[in-house]
């Protein structure tokens, strides 16, 4: 059986280290995913606090999901911005020394130049924003499933998400 191997050097500028770009991108994605793992713990802590206060008969406010997110997904957004900078750097690298950009524009495949400059950065942007979206949906499902389970049987569970009726703020909680 023949092994198929994708030649990734076709997707980076001539002379650039393909493995280095992909390794840095993968490491940044892993670090961002690990950083976002703090969010489920925050969600569980907040909603367990709501559960214990409801069992004690207290009326309490808990932060909505959009407020709990905080900086959980900043790493993915930073990767997208850095990837855009990588595209600019890839284009600039063709202009160094012998000006390979002139040669790249004369190749029979007119998209070769742009493919080499934009493939890895666009993949980084799409993967990072896609992963952020998937994780946000998963964490949101966790939040709303736990919130529904805790407030099941109550007449107006959304009142625990509103803040206008509450006056005292203490350690992330607002009390009436």
CA distance 39 to 41: 5
7 within domain boundaries: no
Inform me whether the pLDDT recorded for 176 exceeds 50. no
Instruction: Answer whether residue 6 is part of any domain.
Output: no
Count how many Cα atoms sit within 13 Å of the Cα of residue 145 in the half-sphere of its side chain: 8
β-bridge pairing 60-61 and 168-170: unpaired
Among 28-37, 64-73, 76-85, 120-129, which is the least confidently predicted range?
Answer: 64-73
* Residue 45 counted as domain residue: no
DSSP lists the bridge partners of residue 8 as none
User: In which band, very low, low, confident or very high, does the pLDDT at 174 lie, cut at 50, 70 and 90?
Assistant: very low
Largest Cα–Cα distance in the chain?
76
Decide if pLDDT at 158 tops 90. Answer: no
Does residue 139 lie in a domain region?
A: yes
- Domain count within the chain: 1
Q: Is residue 145 part of a domain?
A: yes
What pLDDT was estimated at residue 171? 47
Specify the long-range contacts of residues 172-176, CB closer than 8 Å, at least 24 apart.
172/46, 172/49, 172/63, 173/49, 173/53, 173/60, 173/61, 173/62, 174/60, 174/61, 175/58, 175/59, 175/60, 175/61, 176/59
**Percentage of the chain lying above the pLDDT 70 cut:** 86
In a domain, 43, yes or no: no
Give the domain extent around 124: 17-37+64-160
């Amino acid at each position: 059986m023949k092994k198929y191997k994708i030649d990734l050097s076709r997707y980076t500028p001539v002379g650039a280290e393909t493995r280095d770009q992909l390794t840095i991108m993968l490491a940044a994605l892993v670090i961002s995913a690990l950083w976002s793992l703090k969010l489920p713990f925050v969600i569980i802590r907040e909603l367990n606090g709501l559960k214990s206060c409801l069992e004690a008969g207290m009326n309490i406010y808990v932060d909505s999901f959009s407020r709990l997110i905080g900086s959980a997904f900043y790493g993915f957004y930073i990767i997208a911005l850095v990837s855009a900078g990588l595209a600019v750097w890839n284009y600039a690298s063709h202009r160094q020394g012998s000006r390979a950009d002139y040669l790249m524009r004369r190749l029979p495949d007119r998209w070769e130049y742009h493919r080499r400059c934009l493939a890895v950065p666009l993949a980084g942007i799409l993967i990072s924003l896609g992963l952020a979206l998937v994780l946000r949906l998963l964490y949101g499902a966790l939040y709303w499933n736990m919130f529904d389970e805790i407030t099941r049987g109550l007449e107006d569970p959304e009142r625990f998400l509103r803040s206008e009726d509450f006056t005292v703020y203490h350690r992330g909680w607002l009390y009436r």
